[in-house]
A = this chain, B = another copy of it.
Amino acid sequence: MAKLLTGKEVSAALADDLVPRIERLAAAGMTPTLAIVRVGERPDDLSYERTARKRAEALGIAVRRFELAAEASQAELEAVIEAVNGDEAVHGCLLFRPLPPSMDERAVCDRLAPEKDIDGIGSASLAGVFADTGEGFPPATAQACLEMLDFYGIPVAGKRVVVLGRSLVIGRPVAMMLLARHATVTLAHSRTEDAAAHTREADIVVCATGRARAFGPEFFAPGQTVLDVGINFDADGNLCGDVDFDAVESVLGPEGAITPVPRGLGGVTTTVTMAHVVRAAEAACR
Interface residues of A (CB under 8 A from B): 106, 123-124, 126-131, 133, 135, 157-158, 160, 166, 168, 172, 175-176, 179, 182, 184-189, 191-193, 195, 198
Min CB gap A123→B, angstroms: 4
Contact B188 A184 (CB under 8 A): yes
The residues of B that contact A168 with a CB separation of less than 8 Å are 130-131
Contact A191 B130 (CB under 8 A): no
Contact B184 A189 (CB under 8 A): yes
Chain B residue at minimal CB-CB distance from A114: B123
Q: Which of B106, B126, B166 contacts A179 (CB 8 A)?
A: B166
Min CB gap A170→B, angstroms: 13
The residues of B that contact A128 with a CB separation of less than 8 Å are 123
Q: A182-B191, A186-B184 are in contact. Are A133 and B106 (CB under 8 A)?
A: yes
Min CB gap A38→B, angstroms: 23
- Top 6 closest pairs, chain A to chain B, by CB: A123-B127, A130-B130, A127-B127, A182-B191, A186-B186, A184-B192
Q: Which of B130, B160, B186 contacts A185 (CB 8 A)?
A: B186
Report Cα–Cα, A123/B129, bound state, in Å: 10
Report Cα–Cα, A130/B184, bound state, in Å: 18
Report Cα–Cα, A157/B172, bound state, in Å: 17
Q: Which of B124, B172, B191 contacts A176 (CB 8 A)?
A: B172
Report Cα–Cα, A133/B187, bound state, in Å: 19
Report Cα–Cα, A193/B158, bound state, in Å: 6
Chain B residue at minimal CB-CB distance from A157: B191
Chain B residue at minimal CB-CB distance from A172: B130
Report Cα–Cα, A127/B127, bound state, in Å: 4
Tell which of A126, A133, A198 has the most Cβ of chain B within 10 Å. A126
The residues of B that contact A131 with a CB separation of less than 8 Å are 106, 123, 126, 168
Q: Which of B158, B172, B188 contacts A191 (CB 8 A)?
A: B158
Contact B189 A187 (CB under 8 A): no
Chain B residue at minimal CB-CB distance from A123: B127
Contact B188 A187 (CB under 8 A): no
Of the A-B pairs whose beta carbons lie under 8 Å apart in the complex, a sample of 30, sorted by A's number, is A106-B133, A123-B123, A123-B124, A123-B127, A123-B128, A123-B131, A123-B133, A123-B135, A124-B127, A126-B130, A127-B127, A130-B130, A130-B168, A131-B168, A157-B191, A158-B191, A158-B193, A160-B193, A166-B179, A179-B187, A182-B189, A184-B187, A184-B188, A184-B189, A184-B191, A184-B192, A184-B193, A184-B195, A184-B198, A186-B187
